[in-house]
Amino acid sequence: MVNGQADQAAPGLDEAEALRLDAAEPGHRHLFHVPPADGGRYPESAYLAGNSLGLQPRATRDELLADLDAWSRLGVEGHLAAERPWLPYHELLTAPAARLVGALPTETVVMNSLTVNLHLLMVSFYRPEGERTRIVIEDTAFPSDSYAVRSQARFHGLDPDATVVRLAPRPGEDTLRTEDVTGYLAAEGHTVALVLLGGVNYLTGELMDIPAITAAGRAAGAVVGWDLAHAAGNVPLSLHDWDVDFAAWCSYKYLNSGPGALAGVFVHERHHGNPTLPRFEGWWSTAADTRFEMTPVSRPPATVEAWQISNPPIFAMGPVRTSLELFDSVGMSALRARSLRLTGYLERLLDEVTANRPLTVITPREPRRRGCQLSVRLGEGSAAELTTRLRHEHGVIADAREPDVIRFAPVPLYSTYHDCWRVADALAATVSEVSR
């Protein structure tokens, strides 16, 4: 399977074309720190792992240091006297986060981490009763989601093996069909309490038909939530107009806010102020204008901020704010257009490389059914071993999902056409052609 390192471009892959495309459409790479290459002929990495951890915006360091300086100069007075006062700091993130996911500001808040938020939301929205107890997820859901819903079933005294329904692709296929999801909901929806799917599947890169599945789930009487870890900042979203009940997302992947960065939450406005919805509460769950009255009973606002619990961590919020401002300045429509071009170009190159090699692209070919990620399945060998060679011999950083899938994500904010060319060239140099 594995060749020695090649010094020349693979036949049929035109490096000059990639450089011409980059000259005509330079993108926004200059706004980010790109890791140096650990091998290969180029000084910078071809970084195709932003679906796992996004790169650091150049503005992040200075912005974060400014918040730290406020602490050193002002101490506790920074809550009100800092240039960006800490008490209402989280409100600086609200409007740009809402624009990013297609929501109202009152429906959006940045807090906690992704799986913590999913649990807090399921406290409110997973309410099994009678025969309506099932939770529907995809069979290739990210493990954390699987663990979360199974633990929720156990918390309610239910058998997770019987409660959690894992929808799998048809035999011989790699991705779910929308009609199979909506068909299950039409037939079995009376038993479903919660639908919780990934907006973009972490393994295959498939973009689910969020509005169609949401409509089918709600028509069946179920609550519909979405894990948007791989969708937020990757594809355009319209959560309010799609009538989604709730959603959560992380911000360390496409949102480039740093490892373990704070996450986001959406709750549709029709649920705000509903006294029948159970919620866990804390100091930040009560209305801001009464918070310092220090009363023993919470008075939650009729917004998504009622789901907040704790004092926001300012230094963790700073990088999220910086990143969201960047998305605001560039715009998701422009990023999506560039993403379609970059991913389509990478797909064309991979078609040349995989034609005679034990490699298969498992991401849907239709651009409307995917984000920027293309996943490649190896016919033999280890995904981890191959990604290690790509990095150390060619300076290409990608992401392995053992045993046999490598994920390449040409992120439109900072990836280039030349990065895509380097991926294809490195695969051609590293994976042997099949003998005929």
pLDDT digits (tens, 9 = 90+) for 28-43: 999 999 999 999 999 9
pLDDT at 434: 84
CA angle at 86 for the pair 85 and 91, rounded to the nearest 5°: 90
Give the whole-number percent of the chain exceeding pLDDT 70. Answer: 97
Q: Do 61 and 54 contact (CB within 8 A), yes or no? A: no
The encoded tokens of residue 430 equal: 């590293």
Burial of residue 375 (CB within 10 Å: 0-12, 13-18, 19+) is: buried
pLDDT-derived band at 420, boundaries 50, 70, 90: very high
**Sole residue written with tokens 């949102």:** 255
Question: What is the percent of the chain with per-residue pLDDT over 90, rounded to a whole number?
Answer: 95
Looking at residue 7, its pLDDT comes to 40
pLDDT at 261 over 70: yes
Is the distance from CB of 200 to CB of 206 less than 8 angstroms?
yes
Q: Is the Cβ–Cβ distance between 197 and 226 less than 8 Å?
A: yes
Nearest to 369 by CA among 242, 238, 231, 243: 231
With a cut of 50, say whether residue 247 has pLDDT above it.
Answer: yes
